[in-house]
Structure 1
Amino acid sequence: MRSAFKTKPPRYPSNWDDFPAGEHIRHAVNTVCNDYAERIFGYHFAKLGSLSAEINLHSSPIRHHINHVPFNDLVSDKLNDDDGSGGFSNRNSASGTSLNEGTGEPKKSRGNTVVGQSHCLPFAENSIDGFLLANELDFAQDPHEILREVDRVITQNGYVIISGFNPLSLAGIAKFLPVKRGNILHDARFFTSYRIKDWLQLLGFEIVEQRQIMFSTLFFQQKWKGAVKLQDYLSSYLPWCSAVYVILAKKRVIPMTAIKPKRNLKPRFSAVGASVRTSTVNRTLR
Protein backbone atom coordinates (compact mmCIF):
# COMPACT_ATOMS: atom_id res chain seq x y z
CA MET A 1 0.00 0.00 0.00
CA ARG A 2 1.28 3.44 -0.91
CA SER A 3 2.10 5.96 1.76
CA ALA A 4 -0.56 8.59 2.40
CA PHE A 5 2.07 11.34 2.46
CA LYS A 6 2.57 13.17 -0.83
CA THR A 7 5.74 15.13 -1.51
CA LYS A 8 3.93 17.67 -3.67
CA PRO A 9 0.67 19.02 -2.23
CA PRO A 10 -2.32 18.66 -4.60
CA ARG A 11 -4.29 21.62 -5.86
CA TYR A 12 -6.80 22.75 -3.28
CA PRO A 13 -10.39 23.65 -4.31
CA SER A 14 -11.70 27.02 -3.20
CA ASN A 15 -15.38 25.96 -3.43
CA TRP A 16 -17.67 23.30 -4.88
CA ASP A 17 -17.95 25.23 -8.15
CA ASP A 18 -14.43 24.05 -9.04
CA PHE A 19 -15.93 20.64 -9.86
CA PRO A 20 -18.03 20.12 -13.02
CA ALA A 21 -20.87 18.57 -10.98
CA GLY A 22 -19.96 20.49 -7.84
CA GLU A 23 -23.45 21.68 -7.00
CA HIS A 24 -24.87 18.13 -7.24
CA ILE A 25 -22.05 16.80 -5.05
CA ARG A 26 -22.52 19.56 -2.49
CA HIS A 27 -26.27 18.99 -2.31
CA ALA A 28 -25.87 15.21 -1.84
CA VAL A 29 -23.15 15.56 0.80
CA ASN A 30 -25.13 18.31 2.56
CA THR A 31 -28.20 16.07 2.85
CA VAL A 32 -26.30 13.21 4.50
CA CYS A 33 -24.18 15.46 6.75
CA ASN A 34 -27.26 17.33 7.88
CA ASP A 35 -28.83 14.02 8.90
CA TYR A 36 -25.71 12.98 10.80
CA ALA A 37 -25.44 16.36 12.54
CA GLU A 38 -28.77 15.80 14.30
CA ARG A 39 -27.09 13.15 16.48
CA ILE A 40 -24.19 15.34 17.60
CA PHE A 41 -24.67 17.35 20.78
CA GLY A 42 -22.34 19.71 22.57
CA TYR A 43 -21.08 23.29 22.46
CA HIS A 44 -18.65 23.62 19.51
CA PHE A 45 -18.63 22.22 15.97
CA ALA A 46 -15.73 22.74 13.53
CA LYS A 47 -15.80 22.51 9.73
CA LEU A 48 -12.35 21.92 8.27
CA GLY A 49 -11.65 23.21 4.78
CA SER A 50 -13.31 25.49 2.27
CA LEU A 51 -15.62 22.71 1.05
CA SER A 52 -16.82 21.95 4.58
CA ALA A 53 -17.51 25.64 5.18
CA GLU A 54 -20.14 25.57 2.41
CA ILE A 55 -22.05 22.69 4.02
CA ASN A 56 -25.01 24.12 5.90
CA LEU A 57 -25.89 22.04 8.99
CA HIS A 58 -29.15 23.81 9.83
CA SER A 59 -30.51 20.82 11.80
CA SER A 60 -27.49 20.60 14.10
CA PRO A 61 -28.37 21.15 17.78
CA ILE A 62 -24.92 22.72 18.31
CA ARG A 63 -25.18 26.50 18.06
CA HIS A 64 -21.54 27.49 17.74
CA HIS A 65 -20.01 26.50 14.39
CA ILE A 66 -16.42 27.33 13.40
CA ASN A 67 -15.31 27.41 9.76
CA HIS A 68 -11.60 26.60 9.60
CA VAL A 69 -10.45 27.62 6.09
CA PRO A 70 -6.99 28.00 4.53
CA PHE A 71 -5.49 31.40 3.84
CA ASN A 72 -5.79 31.14 0.05
CA ASP A 73 -9.55 30.68 0.34
CA LEU A 74 -9.79 33.86 2.38
CA VAL A 75 -7.78 35.80 -0.20
CA SER A 76 -9.93 34.56 -3.10
CA ASP A 77 -13.10 35.67 -1.31
CA LYS A 78 -11.54 39.06 -0.73
CA LEU A 79 -10.70 39.50 -4.41
CA ASN A 80 -14.15 38.37 -5.56
CA ASP A 81 -16.01 40.64 -3.18
CA ASP A 82 -17.91 43.42 -4.98
CA ASP A 83 -19.30 45.40 -2.08
CA GLY A 84 -16.03 47.25 -1.43
CA SER A 85 -15.65 45.87 2.05
CA GLY A 86 -12.58 43.78 1.19
CA GLY A 87 -14.29 40.46 1.84
CA PHE A 88 -14.20 40.74 5.63
CA SER A 89 -17.46 42.53 6.41
CA ASN A 90 -19.66 39.42 6.38
CA ARG A 91 -17.19 36.98 7.86
CA ASN A 92 -18.77 36.86 11.29
CA SER A 93 -22.41 37.28 10.35
CA ALA A 94 -25.09 35.24 8.66
CA SER A 95 -25.59 37.94 6.01
CA GLY A 96 -22.52 36.63 4.21
CA THR A 97 -24.41 33.59 2.90
CA SER A 98 -25.80 33.36 -0.60
CA LEU A 99 -28.71 31.29 -1.88
CA ASN A 100 -28.47 28.67 -4.61
CA GLU A 101 -30.62 29.17 -7.66
CA GLY A 102 -33.60 26.81 -7.78
CA THR A 103 -33.10 25.21 -4.36
CA GLY A 104 -33.11 28.35 -2.22
CA GLU A 105 -30.65 26.75 0.21
CA PRO A 106 -27.77 28.70 1.71
CA LYS A 107 -24.64 28.04 -0.30
CA LYS A 108 -22.07 29.38 2.13
CA SER A 109 -22.00 29.67 5.88
CA ARG A 110 -19.07 31.88 6.84
CA GLY A 111 -19.88 32.69 10.44
CA ASN A 112 -17.00 32.51 12.94
CA THR A 113 -14.27 31.92 10.37
CA VAL A 114 -10.77 30.91 11.47
CA VAL A 115 -7.88 31.05 9.00
CA GLY A 116 -5.30 28.29 9.31
CA GLN A 117 -4.11 24.87 8.18
CA SER A 118 -6.03 21.69 8.91
CA HIS A 119 -2.93 19.85 10.11
CA CYS A 120 -2.28 22.50 12.80
CA LEU A 121 -5.54 23.38 14.54
CA PRO A 122 -5.57 26.39 16.91
CA PHE A 123 -7.91 24.70 19.39
CA ALA A 124 -7.31 23.35 22.86
CA GLU A 125 -7.35 19.65 23.61
CA ASN A 126 -10.77 18.08 24.20
CA SER A 127 -12.58 21.26 23.16
CA ILE A 128 -14.53 20.45 19.94
CA ASP A 129 -17.59 18.18 20.09
CA GLY A 130 -17.94 17.57 16.35
CA PHE A 131 -15.91 17.80 13.15
CA LEU A 132 -16.84 17.90 9.48
CA LEU A 133 -14.25 17.01 6.83
CA ALA A 134 -16.04 17.33 3.50
CA ASN A 135 -13.52 15.79 1.06
CA GLU A 136 -10.75 17.49 3.02
CA LEU A 137 -8.56 14.38 3.10
CA ASP A 138 -8.76 14.01 -0.69
CA PHE A 139 -6.79 17.24 -1.14
CA ALA A 140 -4.45 16.91 1.86
CA GLN A 141 -0.71 16.44 1.55
CA ASP A 142 -0.63 14.28 4.70
CA PRO A 143 -4.10 13.13 5.86
CA HIS A 144 -2.58 11.39 8.87
CA GLU A 145 -1.59 14.73 10.37
CA ILE A 146 -5.12 16.08 9.99
CA LEU A 147 -6.68 13.05 11.67
CA ARG A 148 -4.16 13.20 14.51
CA GLU A 149 -5.05 16.85 15.08
CA VAL A 150 -8.73 15.97 15.08
CA ASP A 151 -8.06 13.20 17.59
CA ARG A 152 -6.17 15.66 19.81
CA VAL A 153 -8.86 18.34 19.77
CA ILE A 154 -12.05 16.28 19.82
CA THR A 155 -13.83 15.63 23.10
CA GLN A 156 -14.51 12.24 24.60
CA ASN A 157 -17.41 10.61 22.72
CA GLY A 158 -17.21 13.34 20.09
CA TYR A 159 -18.22 12.75 16.47
CA VAL A 160 -16.47 13.26 13.14
CA ILE A 161 -18.11 13.30 9.69
CA ILE A 162 -15.86 12.52 6.71
CA SER A 163 -16.81 12.47 3.04
CA GLY A 164 -14.52 11.35 0.25
CA PHE A 165 -14.28 10.22 -3.37
CA ASN A 166 -14.44 6.48 -4.00
CA PRO A 167 -11.68 5.11 -6.29
CA LEU A 168 -13.80 1.99 -7.02
CA SER A 169 -16.34 4.05 -8.97
CA LEU A 170 -16.75 5.52 -12.44
CA ALA A 171 -15.20 8.73 -11.11
CA GLY A 172 -12.15 6.81 -9.91
CA ILE A 173 -11.72 5.29 -13.36
CA ALA A 174 -12.26 8.60 -15.15
CA LYS A 175 -9.53 10.13 -13.01
CA PHE A 176 -6.92 8.17 -14.99
CA LEU A 177 -8.48 8.88 -18.39
CA PRO A 178 -7.67 11.91 -20.55
CA VAL A 179 -10.99 13.57 -19.71
CA LYS A 180 -10.88 17.26 -18.79
CA ARG A 181 -7.25 17.10 -17.75
CA GLY A 182 -7.34 20.59 -16.27
CA ASN A 183 -10.08 19.67 -13.82
CA ILE A 184 -9.14 19.62 -10.15
CA LEU A 185 -10.70 16.16 -9.71
CA HIS A 186 -7.57 14.69 -11.31
CA ASP A 187 -5.59 15.97 -8.31
CA ALA A 188 -7.89 14.35 -5.74
CA ARG A 189 -6.39 11.49 -3.70
CA PHE A 190 -9.40 9.11 -3.91
CA PHE A 191 -8.87 7.10 -0.71
CA THR A 192 -11.08 4.06 -0.21
CA SER A 193 -13.58 4.12 2.63
CA TYR A 194 -11.93 1.01 4.10
CA ARG A 195 -8.64 2.87 4.40
CA ILE A 196 -10.26 5.88 6.06
CA LYS A 197 -12.08 3.64 8.53
CA ASP A 198 -8.85 1.81 9.30
CA TRP A 199 -7.14 5.10 10.16
CA LEU A 200 -10.05 6.12 12.38
CA GLN A 201 -10.11 2.81 14.23
CA LEU A 202 -6.39 3.04 14.93
CA LEU A 203 -7.06 6.40 16.63
CA GLY A 204 -9.81 4.92 18.79
CA PHE A 205 -12.87 5.88 16.72
CA GLU A 206 -15.89 3.67 16.33
CA ILE A 207 -17.54 3.61 12.89
CA VAL A 208 -21.21 4.39 13.48
CA GLU A 209 -22.58 4.56 9.93
CA GLN A 210 -21.56 4.91 6.30
CA ARG A 211 -23.61 5.95 3.28
CA GLN A 212 -22.86 5.70 -0.43
CA ILE A 213 -24.06 8.54 -2.68
CA MET A 214 -23.56 9.95 -6.20
CA PHE A 215 -23.34 7.23 -8.88
CA SER A 216 -21.72 9.10 -11.79
CA THR A 217 -18.32 10.09 -13.19
CA LEU A 218 -18.49 13.55 -11.52
CA PHE A 219 -16.64 14.99 -14.52
CA PHE A 220 -19.86 16.02 -16.29
CA GLN A 221 -23.04 17.74 -15.17
CA GLN A 222 -26.09 15.54 -14.81
CA LYS A 223 -28.72 16.59 -17.36
CA TRP A 224 -30.58 13.29 -17.85
CA LYS A 225 -34.06 13.30 -16.31
CA GLY A 226 -33.89 9.64 -15.31
CA ALA A 227 -30.72 10.10 -13.30
CA VAL A 228 -32.61 10.15 -10.00
CA LYS A 229 -34.19 6.74 -10.59
CA LEU A 230 -30.86 5.32 -11.66
CA GLN A 231 -29.25 6.70 -8.50
CA ASP A 232 -31.84 4.96 -6.32
CA TYR A 233 -31.40 1.67 -8.20
CA LEU A 234 -27.62 1.68 -7.91
CA SER A 235 -27.68 2.69 -4.25
CA SER A 236 -29.82 -0.38 -3.50
CA TYR A 237 -28.00 -3.02 -5.55
CA LEU A 238 -24.48 -1.65 -6.21
CA PRO A 239 -23.60 0.57 -3.23
CA TRP A 240 -19.87 -0.21 -3.43
CA CYS A 241 -19.46 1.63 -6.76
CA SER A 242 -20.74 5.01 -5.55
CA ALA A 243 -18.62 8.04 -6.39
CA VAL A 244 -18.86 9.59 -2.91
CA TYR A 245 -19.10 8.08 0.57
CA VAL A 246 -19.89 9.73 3.91
CA ILE A 247 -18.67 8.23 7.19
CA LEU A 248 -19.87 8.99 10.72
CA ALA A 249 -17.45 7.96 13.49
CA LYS A 250 -17.48 8.42 17.26
CA LYS A 251 -14.50 8.81 19.56
CA ARG A 252 -14.35 6.11 22.21
CA VAL A 253 -12.23 6.61 25.33
CA ILE A 254 -11.85 3.66 27.71
CA PRO A 255 -11.11 4.85 31.27
CA MET A 256 -8.02 3.38 32.91
CA THR A 257 -9.47 2.12 36.22
CA ALA A 258 -7.01 0.51 38.63
CA ILE A 259 -8.12 -2.99 39.63
CA LYS A 260 -7.00 -4.00 43.09
CA PRO A 261 -5.65 -7.55 43.41
CA LYS A 262 -7.73 -9.95 45.44
CA ARG A 263 -6.49 -10.88 48.90
CA ASN A 264 -4.89 -14.27 49.29
CA LEU A 265 -7.38 -16.22 51.39
CA LYS A 266 -6.13 -19.00 53.61
CA PRO A 267 -7.63 -22.39 52.74
CA ARG A 268 -10.08 -23.71 55.31
CA PHE A 269 -8.91 -27.30 54.88
CA SER A 270 -5.30 -28.36 54.65
CA ALA A 271 -4.21 -30.99 52.19
CA VAL A 272 -3.89 -34.43 53.76
CA GLY A 273 -1.19 -36.83 52.62
CA ALA A 274 -1.73 -40.48 51.71
CA SER A 275 0.18 -41.81 54.75
CA VAL A 276 -2.02 -39.90 57.15
CA ARG A 277 -5.20 -41.17 55.48
CA THR A 278 -4.09 -44.84 55.76
CA SER A 279 -3.20 -44.46 59.43
CA THR A 280 -6.58 -42.99 60.30
CA VAL A 281 -8.35 -45.84 58.42
CA ASN A 282 -6.36 -48.45 60.34
CA ARG A 283 -7.31 -46.83 63.65
CA THR A 284 -11.00 -46.99 62.86
CA LEU A 285 -10.78 -50.66 61.87
CA ARG A 286 -9.21 -51.52 65.21
Structure 2
Amino acid sequence: MMLMPARRASATAAPTSWSQLPHGEWLKEELSHALAPHCAKIFGYYLARVGHLSKSLEMPELRVRHQFSAAKTEGADIQTDLEYWPFAEGVLDGVMMIGQLEFERDPHQVLREISRSLIADGHLILAGFNPLSPATITGLWPSNMSKPPWSGRYFSKARINDWLSLLNFEIVGCGYVAPTMMIPKTASANFGLKHVSRFIPQVGAMYYVVARKREFPLTVVRNKQRAKPPVNALPLANRVKSPDVEPK
Protein backbone atom coordinates (compact mmCIF):
# COMPACT_ATOMS: atom_id res chain seq x y z
CA MET A 1 0.00 0.00 0.00
CA MET A 2 1.47 3.33 -1.10
CA LEU A 3 1.05 6.21 1.34
CA MET A 4 0.27 9.71 0.17
CA PRO A 5 2.85 12.43 0.98
CA ALA A 6 2.22 14.11 4.31
CA ARG A 7 3.07 17.57 3.02
CA ARG A 8 0.42 19.50 1.12
CA ALA A 9 0.04 22.88 -0.56
CA SER A 10 -1.65 24.73 2.30
CA ALA A 11 -2.79 24.27 5.87
CA THR A 12 -6.39 23.76 6.99
CA ALA A 13 -8.14 25.57 9.82
CA ALA A 14 -7.82 23.50 12.98
CA PRO A 15 -10.63 23.37 15.58
CA THR A 16 -10.44 26.19 18.08
CA SER A 17 -12.57 24.51 20.77
CA TRP A 18 -13.85 21.06 21.72
CA SER A 19 -17.41 22.30 21.20
CA GLN A 20 -16.76 22.33 17.44
CA LEU A 21 -16.50 18.55 17.47
CA PRO A 22 -19.48 16.19 17.82
CA HIS A 23 -19.66 15.16 21.50
CA GLY A 24 -16.57 17.29 22.02
CA GLU A 25 -16.78 17.50 25.80
CA TRP A 26 -17.09 13.73 26.02
CA LEU A 27 -14.05 13.36 23.74
CA LYS A 28 -12.07 15.70 25.98
CA GLU A 29 -12.94 13.75 29.13
CA GLU A 30 -12.08 10.41 27.52
CA LEU A 31 -8.69 11.67 26.34
CA SER A 32 -7.91 13.34 29.66
CA HIS A 33 -8.65 10.11 31.51
CA ALA A 34 -6.40 8.07 29.18
CA LEU A 35 -3.48 10.50 29.44
CA ALA A 36 -3.64 10.95 33.22
CA PRO A 37 -1.31 8.03 34.17
CA HIS A 38 1.31 9.18 31.65
CA CYS A 39 1.13 12.87 32.59
CA ALA A 40 1.73 11.99 36.24
CA LYS A 41 5.28 10.97 35.27
CA ILE A 42 6.11 14.26 33.53
CA PHE A 43 7.61 17.18 35.43
CA GLY A 44 9.80 20.21 34.75
CA TYR A 45 9.68 23.97 34.30
CA TYR A 46 8.26 24.70 30.82
CA LEU A 47 5.56 22.95 28.78
CA ALA A 48 4.03 24.22 25.53
CA ARG A 49 0.41 23.34 24.73
CA VAL A 50 0.21 23.42 20.93
CA GLY A 51 -3.21 24.19 19.48
CA HIS A 52 -6.44 25.32 21.09
CA LEU A 53 -7.58 21.80 21.98
CA SER A 54 -4.41 21.31 24.02
CA LYS A 55 -4.94 24.64 25.76
CA SER A 56 -8.33 23.67 27.18
CA LEU A 57 -7.46 20.06 28.07
CA GLU A 58 -7.46 19.82 31.85
CA MET A 59 -4.52 17.76 33.08
CA PRO A 60 -3.93 18.40 36.80
CA GLU A 61 -1.49 15.47 36.86
CA LEU A 62 1.10 17.46 34.88
CA ARG A 63 3.76 18.61 37.35
CA VAL A 64 5.20 21.31 35.12
CA ARG A 65 5.56 24.73 36.70
CA HIS A 66 5.04 26.98 33.68
CA GLN A 67 2.51 25.95 31.01
CA PHE A 68 1.56 28.15 28.05
CA SER A 69 -0.33 27.73 24.79
CA ALA A 70 0.97 28.26 21.25
CA ALA A 71 -1.12 28.45 18.08
CA LYS A 72 -1.28 30.22 14.73
CA THR A 73 -4.55 31.99 15.50
CA GLU A 74 -5.59 34.43 18.20
CA GLY A 75 -6.52 33.24 21.65
CA ALA A 76 -3.23 31.53 22.50
CA ASP A 77 -0.54 32.84 24.81
CA ILE A 78 1.95 32.79 21.92
CA GLN A 79 0.77 33.32 18.35
CA THR A 80 3.32 31.75 16.05
CA ASP A 81 3.92 29.67 12.94
CA LEU A 82 4.27 26.10 14.15
CA GLU A 83 6.68 25.23 11.34
CA TYR A 84 9.19 27.84 12.56
CA TRP A 85 8.36 28.72 16.13
CA PRO A 86 10.40 31.05 18.32
CA PHE A 87 11.67 28.64 20.97
CA ALA A 88 15.39 28.08 21.32
CA GLU A 89 17.02 24.67 21.16
CA GLY A 90 16.58 22.48 24.22
CA VAL A 91 14.47 24.81 26.39
CA LEU A 92 11.16 22.94 26.80
CA ASP A 93 10.58 20.07 29.20
CA GLY A 94 7.43 18.97 27.43
CA VAL A 95 5.12 19.63 24.48
CA MET A 96 1.44 18.70 24.22
CA MET A 97 -0.23 18.67 20.80
CA ILE A 98 -3.87 17.60 20.54
CA GLY A 99 -5.74 17.44 17.22
CA GLN A 100 -3.39 19.84 15.47
CA LEU A 101 -0.94 17.90 13.31
CA GLU A 102 -3.70 16.82 10.89
CA PHE A 103 -4.29 20.42 9.84
CA GLU A 104 -0.67 21.50 9.27
CA ARG A 105 0.88 22.06 5.85
CA ASP A 106 4.09 20.20 6.67
CA PRO A 107 3.66 17.91 9.72
CA HIS A 108 7.25 16.64 9.40
CA GLN A 109 8.61 20.15 9.89
CA VAL A 110 6.33 20.73 12.88
CA LEU A 111 7.67 17.59 14.57
CA ARG A 112 11.24 18.63 13.79
CA GLU A 113 10.65 21.97 15.50
CA ILE A 114 9.21 20.23 18.53
CA SER A 115 12.18 17.88 18.71
CA ARG A 116 14.63 20.77 18.41
CA SER A 117 13.09 22.73 21.26
CA LEU A 118 12.81 19.78 23.68
CA ILE A 119 15.52 19.00 26.19
CA ALA A 120 17.11 15.56 26.30
CA ASP A 121 14.58 13.16 27.85
CA GLY A 122 11.82 15.74 27.30
CA HIS A 123 8.30 14.44 26.66
CA LEU A 124 5.92 14.83 23.73
CA ILE A 125 2.21 14.17 24.31
CA LEU A 126 0.49 13.87 20.95
CA ALA A 127 -3.10 12.95 20.14
CA GLY A 128 -4.91 12.91 16.83
CA PHE A 129 -7.94 11.61 14.99
CA ASN A 130 -7.83 7.94 14.05
CA PRO A 131 -8.22 7.13 10.31
CA LEU A 132 -9.20 3.54 11.18
CA SER A 133 -12.20 4.64 13.24
CA PRO A 134 -15.79 4.21 11.98
CA ALA A 135 -16.13 7.95 12.63
CA THR A 136 -14.41 8.56 9.27
CA ILE A 137 -17.56 7.22 7.58
CA THR A 138 -19.51 10.12 9.06
CA GLY A 139 -17.05 12.49 7.42
CA LEU A 140 -18.02 11.23 3.96
CA TRP A 141 -21.32 13.08 4.23
CA PRO A 142 -21.01 16.17 1.96
CA SER A 143 -21.95 18.65 4.69
CA ASN A 144 -19.28 17.23 7.02
CA MET A 145 -16.31 17.12 4.67
CA SER A 146 -15.44 20.78 5.24
CA LYS A 147 -15.90 20.64 9.04
CA PRO A 148 -13.34 19.63 11.64
CA PRO A 149 -12.15 17.05 12.33
CA TRP A 150 -12.93 15.56 8.91
CA SER A 151 -11.45 18.55 7.07
CA GLY A 152 -7.99 17.56 8.31
CA ARG A 153 -5.54 15.03 6.93
CA TYR A 154 -5.62 11.90 9.09
CA PHE A 155 -2.48 9.95 9.98
CA SER A 156 -2.42 6.52 11.58
CA LYS A 157 -0.81 5.94 14.96
CA ALA A 158 1.71 3.56 13.38
CA ARG A 159 2.78 6.23 10.91
CA ILE A 160 3.23 8.79 13.69
CA ASN A 161 5.34 6.30 15.64
CA ASP A 162 7.59 5.82 12.59
CA TRP A 163 8.10 9.57 12.23
CA LEU A 164 8.97 9.93 15.90
CA SER A 165 11.43 7.04 15.81
CA LEU A 166 13.32 8.81 13.02
CA LEU A 167 13.64 11.80 15.35
CA ASN A 168 15.10 9.60 18.12
CA PHE A 169 11.92 9.51 20.21
CA GLU A 170 11.17 6.52 22.40
CA ILE A 171 7.48 5.60 22.58
CA VAL A 172 6.61 5.18 26.26
CA GLY A 173 2.84 4.92 25.86
CA CYS A 174 0.15 4.83 23.17
CA GLY A 175 -3.41 3.71 22.60
CA TYR A 176 -6.89 4.48 21.27
CA VAL A 177 -9.70 6.31 23.05
CA ALA A 178 -13.30 7.47 22.58
CA PRO A 179 -15.14 4.87 20.45
CA THR A 180 -17.80 6.92 18.68
CA MET A 181 -19.29 7.57 15.26
CA MET A 182 -19.18 11.33 15.90
CA ILE A 183 -22.83 11.81 15.01
CA PRO A 184 -24.01 14.87 16.98
CA LYS A 185 -27.69 13.95 16.97
CA THR A 186 -27.20 10.65 18.78
CA ALA A 187 -28.04 10.68 22.48
CA SER A 188 -25.13 8.39 23.33
CA ALA A 189 -21.65 9.26 22.17
CA ASN A 190 -20.58 5.61 22.22
CA PHE A 191 -23.34 4.60 19.81
CA GLY A 192 -22.87 0.92 20.63
CA LEU A 193 -19.11 0.91 20.05
CA LYS A 194 -18.10 0.75 23.71
CA HIS A 195 -18.34 -3.04 23.85
CA VAL A 196 -16.67 -3.43 20.45
CA SER A 197 -13.69 -1.36 21.59
CA ARG A 198 -12.86 -3.97 24.25
CA PHE A 199 -11.95 -6.41 21.49
CA ILE A 200 -11.01 -3.96 18.71
CA PRO A 201 -9.40 -0.84 20.25
CA GLN A 202 -8.84 0.65 16.79
CA VAL A 203 -12.49 1.78 16.65
CA GLY A 204 -11.56 4.67 18.95
CA ALA A 205 -12.08 8.05 17.32
CA MET A 206 -8.74 9.31 18.63
CA TYR A 207 -5.30 7.89 19.31
CA TYR A 208 -2.58 9.15 21.65
CA VAL A 209 1.19 8.78 21.73
CA VAL A 210 3.49 9.66 24.63
CA ALA A 211 7.15 9.79 23.59
CA ARG A 212 10.46 10.75 25.20
CA LYS A 213 13.28 12.42 23.32
CA ARG A 214 16.49 10.39 23.48
CA GLU A 215 19.98 11.69 22.73
CA PHE A 216 22.78 9.19 22.35
CA PRO A 217 26.32 10.61 22.68
CA LEU A 218 28.68 9.97 19.79
CA THR A 219 31.88 8.53 21.21
CA VAL A 220 34.82 7.93 18.91
CA VAL A 221 36.06 4.37 19.34
CA ARG A 222 39.71 4.09 18.36
CA ASN A 223 41.32 0.83 17.31
CA LYS A 224 43.99 -0.01 19.85
CA GLN A 225 47.26 -1.08 18.29
CA ARG A 226 48.75 -4.16 19.83
CA ALA A 227 52.07 -3.44 21.50
CA LYS A 228 55.00 -5.35 20.08
CA PRO A 229 56.53 -7.67 22.66
CA PRO A 230 60.21 -7.15 23.43
CA VAL A 231 62.65 -9.37 21.58
CA ASN A 232 63.72 -11.14 24.77
CA ALA A 233 60.12 -12.21 25.34
CA LEU A 234 59.85 -14.00 21.99
CA PRO A 235 60.52 -17.70 21.76
CA LEU A 236 63.97 -18.57 20.54
CA ALA A 237 62.61 -20.01 17.29
CA ASN A 238 60.84 -16.72 16.45
CA ARG A 239 63.87 -14.51 16.91
CA VAL A 240 65.34 -13.17 13.70
CA LYS A 241 69.06 -12.62 13.72
CA SER A 242 70.16 -9.56 11.85
CA PRO A 243 72.74 -10.33 9.16
CA ASP A 244 76.25 -9.14 9.83
CA VAL A 245 77.15 -6.16 7.70
CA GLU A 246 80.78 -5.99 6.78
CA PRO A 247 82.23 -2.52 6.51
CA LYS A 248 83.19 -1.42 3.06
Point out the more displaced range, 185-194 or 127-136. 185-194
TM-score by length of 1: 0.74
Which residue of 71, 79, 84 corresponds with 1:115? Answer: 79
Whole-angstrom CA distance in 2 between matches of 1:272 and 1:164: 75
Matches within 5 A, 1:122-161: 122-161=86-125
| 2:44 partner SS | coil
Q: Which residue of 2 aligns with 1:175?
A: 139
* Secondary structure of 2:220 counterpart: coil
C-alpha distance after superposition, 1:65-87 (max 9, x if no partner): 0111223x32xxxxxxxxxxxxx
- Looking at structure 2, the residues matched to 144 and 132 of structure 1 have their Cα atoms a distance apart, in angstroms, of 16
User: 1:79-119: per-residue Cα shift (whole Å, max 9, x none)?
Assistant: xxxxxxxxxxxxxxxxxxxxxxxxxxxxxxx7xx2121222
Q: Within 1, Cα distance between the matches of 2:61 and 2:125?
A: 15
Partner of 2:125: helix, strand, or coil? strand
Could you report, residue by residue, the CA deviation over 1:138-182 in whole angstroms, capped at 9, with x for unpaired residues? 111111111010011000011101101111110123323436345
Query: Partners of 1:22 and 1:51 in 2: how far apart?
Result: 10
Partner residue in 1 for 2:62:
60
Inter-CA distance 222–30: structure 2 relative to 1 (3 Å threshold)? farther
Q: Distance in 2 between matches of 1:270 and 1:245?
A: 71
Shift of 1:131: 0.7
Aligned residues: 233
Matched to 1:161, the amino acid is: I
TM-score (norm 2): 0.85
Query: Amino acid of the residue matched to residue 119 of structure 1?
Result: E
Q: How far apart, in 2, do the equivalents of 1:228 and 1:35 lie?
A: 26
- Alpha-carbon spacing, 1:270–1:221, altered in 2? closer, same or farther (3 Å): farther
Q: Which residue of 2 aligns with 1:243?
A: 205
In 2, the alpha carbon distance for the partners of 1:241 and 1:12 equals: 23
Match of 2:21 among 19, 22, 42: 19
**Contact kept in structure 2, 1:180 and 1:219, CA below 8 Å:** no
Counterpart of 1:62, as a letter, is V
Cα drift, residue 269 of structure 1: 4.6
Alignment of 1:9-88 (within 5 A): 9-71=11-73, 73-74=74-75
Root mean square deviation, CA, Å: 2.3
Counterpart Cα distance in 2 of 1:182 and 1:204: 35
Structure with more strand by fraction: 2
1:224 is aligned to 188
**Residues 124/182 of structure 1: CA separation in 2 closer, same or farther (3 Å cut):** closer
Alignment partner for residue 190 of structure 1, among 134, 154, 157?
A: 154
Q: Is the 8 A contact 1:34 1:56 kept in 2?
A: no
Please say which of residues 254-263 and 45-54 is displaced more in the overlay: 254-263
Q: Is the 8 A contact 2:45 2:93 kept in 1?
A: yes
The offset of 1:230, in angstroms, is: 4.7
Unaligned segments of structure 2, at least 5 residues = 239-248
- Counterpart of 1:200? 164
Which stretches of structure 1, 4 residues or more, deviate above 4 A after TM superposition? Answer: 267-273
Distance 1:2 1:63 in 2: 40
* Structure with the higher fraction of residues in helix conformation: 1
Percent of counterpart pairs with the same letter?
29
